[in-house]
Amino acid sequence: MKNFKLQLTVFLFIIFQINHLQAQIQKGALTENMTVSSEISPGEKHQYTVKLDKDQFAFFKLLQKGVDVIITTYDANGEKIEDFDSPNGKNGPEMITLTSSNKGKYIIEVSPIDKNEPRGNYELHIEKIKLKAVTLNQKVDELFTVWNSDENPGAAVAVVKDGAIIYKKGYGMANLEYSIPITPSTVFHIASVSKQFTVFSILLLEKEGKLSLDDDIRKYIPEVPDFGKTITLRHLATHTSGLRDQWSLLNLAGWRYDDVITKEHILKIISKQKELNFNPGEEFLYCNTGFTLLAEVVARVSGKTFSEFTEANIFKPLKMSRTLFYDDHEKIVKNRAYSYHTDKTGYKKSVLNYANVGATSLFTTVEDLSLWTLNFSSAKIGDVTLFNKMNTLAILNNGKTFGGALGQFVGKYKGLNEIQHGGADAGYRSYLTRFPDEKFSVIVFSNIADFNSGKMAHKIVDLYLHDKIKVEEKNVKTTTDEIVIDKNILNTYVGDYELQPGLIVSITIENGQLFALPTGQSIVKLKPLSATEFKVEGVDASFAFIPTSDGKISSAKLSQGGQIMNAPRISPFDAATVTLSNFVGRFYSEELSTEYNFVEEGGKLILKHSRLSDVELNPTKKDVFTGSVGQTEFIRDSNNVIIGCKVSTGRVQNLWFKKLL
């Protein structure tokens, strides 16, 4: 659902991986029971070989020691197989798996993510080599080999097909302190997968004639400010309301991840807001606030708490006996999994103290969630009309769609119709994907922050639906490999492009190759598709440069997932011209009830707050700075005196702070 650390929105929520021109260093062969240790420097690629017979499965573990690396595997013909990079930074394990199709030498390649970070060390070890799995169940187990241990957190899986659970299993530990294993009956917090239950509750009440999706939210919750624009329940359920995100607001106000956060806390901060990010219906921007409000609408209309309503109208009829909305952070839940993350010392607890529901906080098991998925093909609650309404793509004011429906996302996966949503809170990672035409669903829960539940779910989909999915054919020689663009043309693209406040993409050139560096992210290669359009390597996205009538490049656009983001080119800025003392002072936000203190230290402008870590701000434009809080724009009056500033992050725009001193 979110990352509670203060940081900029990543490049369209994708963390790009570096694929830079680097020096290859052959490090020799790996053998079983052998551990290799090495130091790696920026710009290096370390390559290891491992001999595998046909149809073997190999599992490797790499321990990072002060350097964040990406591991890439190649087959016996030198063709790339897969990248491995967990979000655990410069310390902790990276788990690598490799399945051989033919006998030969396979390659394990290690390279630093950031070409600018200092050198670091790592250890690489072969954990296991065995015959690859044959049956479907064995193949699923093989996917989870790296988590199937009593020494680490893990995952629970359920596969549903044609009205029945055809596979379910747990891997790893639900509780490391007491060595309690994960089973299909283990209860997980599933974060944003909760949202579809909130929408379903609203639709049940609409079916009874007690409300309408097109009602104004202020009809039910008058505490929501009057922004002069109607915000409907439909806007809330499709992330198109324009409301600022509750977690981002609390972040900016100094709340910690492990603070107790109740519904009342969220409603109070919403009630103080004075602006929207955009007019309702004009844009899509993921917003948890809307679903907290929807849950409160259910409570006020039904006369029951949201937890009571969902228990009576959803969980009990579907016999989801281990499922509840967790609205009391002190409540005892039997058989629950606790969540973890990793650092250089090993596994650490990720404490979660939520006492709010709607956007998150559904506790359930993979077995119970399977019963939820079965309801869509054999209805015990709701009906086809309700399901179709829930699955219909939302439409923006301009008539366009964006992949979002009511509380879930609808699209295609390898040619198949898919309805899905993922979740991430603390160390919990959850994913539910449904393929209605195939009457097939996959559920994956995990209790470790490094885990990619969506990726693992789709690997399971690939196994069970291999005869139905469409795989794009790979040409031996693609046209992109043949495109050569004159260096003088490439030089005209070099510069900075602003995707959104605080998110700038810097385009550079090196050895005739273009690279893009988004604010706060790793550099990524751009491969030419034409003279003006480039593929962002590693993801399904493209970056195009837009010339004016006189041939100058005035803007660019990023295309990804059916969305297009315009990025005007911004003029080079000389940071040396900034007088930092002009921006020193105390600033107060009435909307957050909090104060920021900007001070000059060591030639830098530093943002200080009583509960936040100090944030270094870097000047990017006149009166504009960026840092881990996003963008801070200082505002001057008619006398050129600074009177306040506006802070913008990915899900909060133009939050006003008045200067006090």
429 vs 511 pLDDT, higher one: 429
**Fold classification of 479-570 (topology level):** Lipocalin (2.40.128)
Instruction: Give 471's pLDDT tier (boundaries 50, 70, 90).
Output: low
Q: What is the rounded distance in angstroms from the CA atom of residue 446 to the CA atom of residue 156?
A: 6
Q: Which of 106-120, 290-304, 474-488, 613-627 has the highest mean pLDDT?
A: 290-304
pLDDT of the residue at 480:
37
pLDDT of the residue at 486:
86
pLDDT of the residue at 521:
66
Class of domain 13-132 as given by CATH = mainly beta
pLDDT of the residue at 386:
98
Helix (H) or strand (E) holding 307: helix 306-310
State yes or no: pLDDT of 260 exceeds 70.
yes
Is 575-659 in CATH node 3.40.640.10? no
The token pair that represents 154 in the structure block: 């893990």
The three-class DSSP label of residue 385 is: helix
| Chain CA centroid to CA 49, Å | 33
Q: Which of 113-122, 162-171, 547-556 has the highest mean pLDDT?
A: 162-171
Instruction: Give 14's pLDDT tier (boundaries 50, 70, 90).
Output: very low
Q: For 201-210, 458-467, 481-490, which range has the lowest pLDDT when averaged over its residues? A: 481-490
376 vs 560 pLDDT, higher one: 376
153 vs 91 pLDDT, higher one: 153
**Of the candidates 565, 568, 537, the residue with the CA atom closest to the CA atom of residue 555:** 568
**234, amino acid identity:** R
DSSP letter for 216, please. Answer: B
| pLDDT tens digit sequence for 629-643 | 889 999 999 999 999
Mean pLDDT score, 94-119: 89
Delimit the domains of the chain by residue range: 13-132, 188-464, 479-570, 575-659
323 vs 344 pLDDT, higher one: 323
**Of the candidates 415, 391, 414, 416, the residue with the CA atom closest to the CA atom of residue 404:** 391
pLDDT of the residue at 406:
98
Mean pLDDT score, 414-435: 97
Q: Within a 10 A sphere around the Cβ of 218, how many other Cβ atoms?
A: 14
State yes or no: pLDDT of 562 exceeds 80.
no
Mean pLDDT score, 529-544: 86
pLDDT of the residue at 616:
95
pLDDT of the residue at 123:
95
Give alpha helix (H) positions in 65-173: 136-143
Same-fold call for 188-464 versus 479-570? no
Q: What is the rounded distance in angstroms from the CA atom of residue 562 to the CA atom of residue 558?
A: 10
| pLDDT tens digit sequence for 572-623 | 888 889 999 999 999 999 999 999 999 999 999 999 999 999 999 999 889 9
The chain-wide mean pLDDT, for the chain, equals 91
| Chain CA centroid to CA 650, Å | 12
pLDDT of the residue at 633:
96
Q: Within a 10 A sphere around the Cβ of 546, how many other Cβ atoms?
A: 14
Q: Are 583 and 605 in contact (CB under 8 A)?
A: yes
Mean pLDDT score, 533-548: 86
**389, amino acid identity:** K
pLDDT of the residue at 107:
96
Q: Which one is the CATH code of 188-464: 3.40.50.720, 2.60.40.420, 3.40.710.10, 3.40.50.1820?
A: 3.40.710.10
* CB-count burial class (<10 Å; 0-12, 13-18, 19+) for 231: buried
**196, amino acid identity:** Q
Mean pLDDT score, 338-357: 93
Mean pLDDT score, 164-173: 98
